[in-house]
Amino acid sequence: MPEEPLFVQRFEIGGRDFRNAGKASTTAKAILKEIGIHPAVIRRAAIAAYEAEMNVVLYARKGIMEIRVSPKDIQIRLEDEGDGIADVELAMQEGYSTASDEIREMGFGAGLGLPNIKKNADSFHIHSVVGKGTTLEITVLL
């Protein structure tokens, strides 16, 4: 069987780097549009990627986002180095946030990021180690 075509691209994300915040997910979205994936699918993948990217910018030291596009699905993987999440179950609840006043001041930290990713993904895994970092695996089916 011939190998399935697979498009892979990695992006580096800097913590607190507001100058470039959102660039990785914007570029990823543009690529999905070029490939010609259905707009509704792109929308879900882009929102998930954006929220995940902003989590790294807002809460972690740095991170990597990798996007893999196959004829079946879009996989977005984020690995960050940061404080990690002590109670993942709590963090998944809408409205829960550990954001500082400063972050809330900027219009973030409403506690909607992770639930929003889950809502837009077909499968979503989160793994976090306190003091080390968090890994997200997001899949959106085509």
Between CA 42 and CA 48 the distance in angstroms is 10
With CB under 8 A as the contact rule, the residue among 16, 33, 61, 127 that binds another protein is 33
User: Which CB atom, from 8 or from 86, has the smaller least distance to another protein?
Assistant: 8
With CB under 8 A as the contact rule, the residue among 21, 24, 46, 67 that binds another protein is 46
Q: Shortest Cβ distance from residue 128 to another protein (Å)?
A: 24
49-108 residues in contact with another protein (CB under 8 A) are: 50, 69-71
Q: Could you tell me if 74 and 67 are in contact, meaning their C-beta atoms sit under 8 angstroms apart? A: yes
Check binding of 141 to another protein (CB under 8 A). no
Give the DSSP per-residue string, 80-137: EEES--S-HHHHTSTT-----HHHHHTT--SS-HHHHHHHH-SEEEEEEETTTEEEEE
Check binding of 24 to another protein (CB under 8 A). no
With CB under 8 A as the contact rule, the residue among 40, 89, 95, 101 that binds another protein is 40
Between CA 19 and CA 102 the distance in angstroms is 17
Check binding of 5 to another protein (CB under 8 A). yes
The residues that bridge with 57 in the sheet, in sequence order, are none
With CB under 8 A as the contact rule, the residue among 14, 15, 23, 37 that binds another protein is 37
Between CA 64 and CA 53 the distance in angstroms is 9
Task: Look at residue 73 and give its three-state secondary structure.
Answer: strand
With CB under 8 A as the contact rule, the residue among 7, 86, 90, 132 that binds another protein is 7
Q: Which residues of this chain interact with another protein, rule CB under 8 A?
A: 4-9, 25-26, 29, 31, 33-37, 39-40, 42-43, 46-47, 50, 69-71, 116, 142
